[in-house]
Structure 1
């Protein structure tokens, strides 16, 4: 059976690093407070010529270079993001123009931090129907443009960056072979971000607080650990696997306490989980593809191993995905 296999990866991080010491000068916080509660020490912040689509394009070029695929060979470009360069056109269309991917159709998806995993499942389904397709999937965020820099509970968490993969069909046993994706819109207000205020006065909301991220951290923590655990265990059970069959788990890099709790509840050994949270913070939809590219370059992904992705984000959206590398 044809499966969607990742041919190569790429990533792009902004040049500027914002440290916990820098944040101490901006809001009432401390390095100890941030590190102990989140595990984050640094995050990258976009500057001039580092717009969302520009970071996405650079990550894509690196993935194309690794695979030897030419931009004109691409059939589809999907960008997962909640911080797109413009509401219209999509970031994917900007990337398509920058790359010269003249034969690709392009669109964005918004599933918050779960966006890349949703996109990987989507790409997998395209490829099952058209095995010869070459798909560029990107997670890209400039969350620094969507953060309230006076709110110490959220501004310490988020960073900017982009990660990309190139996918096509394969019959050699490798590739995506299972997913468990979920959403619960009733809990939207636990983690949300408003759009700009309506220009139609009849549609303006009385509770509009600004076009920035808002989060109930305590409730998000409770839901994230439980729901990701459920998504992982149910998916493993469906495919007659146990956690011992996993070569490497790459989770969404949100908060070290969430990751430690998840690891303990799953019974996953330390050497089978990839964490780079301390250097980049929470980059939402870019989190997993940045980690995937870093793990690949560090030799942590072994051909034939089963790789587990799991994620959780606003919506609420969450899920897990299995692939053989």
Structure 2
């Protein structure tokens, strides 16, 4: 069953170029479409500035979309006002990248976790404390942590509090916006294992946004590769990793450092920085950096099409056959 469906989602921002320059419209999301089945994890990966975080914030309506449709649990929630969206909000949560800035420094852990269940009225007042204690224990914290403030915890503990806040309303869907990138490597492993356990125990659905490709491989059922506001390749994780079709996917996964100083990394593709969204090309967004580009790539934008079962790619090289 599909829990989330996104159709041609568009998000635009106005940016000023230079101190005395004029304003330009940029599209961090340019007609993005995908669906997410109940109980699966979709990993969203790409370079900085590709639109990953904007996608996560927009699908849960922290940012209003400028075009397209968002369906949650079969209902069109694109344009409904926040007051009417309240009944869906308890089932849609997010864990932010920086656990310190996402927690109110003036609120204790108890107050932080009590607020969502009071707003959504998920448990009676008499059960509030018991629910908070049980939720804290499920993320590896203890009862005595309830009356402490965020600054009294380590980074890993603060992220556990943020996860507890996300799951306390028993949601169906959680956006994980790089939840481990600000943590030490050893703590990252603990948080990833915790998220995997919670997914199984609470039957959660995740959208996992990350730069870390090893985490994507470990946690995701499917992966979506984003570039300049568009999904350029998407499919089951094993399919995408073992049979990378889009030249950008190849660049991205081959850029992972090899822990061997004797081996040199060879980039067949242009490994330069991502172009600015202000000067986004009219055709394929990867045109300027691709060594396999065709004539039509400069003027026509390839659509995301299925080239084998559960494997989609937006590239003219594969519009007729998988291998050309």
* Category of TM-score, reference length = shorter chain: under 0.3
With normalisation by structure 1, the TM-score equals 0.26
Q: Which has the higher contact order (CA 8 A, sep 6+)?
A: 1
With normalisation by structure 2, the TM-score equals 0.26
**Structure label with greater radius of gyration:** 2
Greater helix percent: which structure?
A: 1
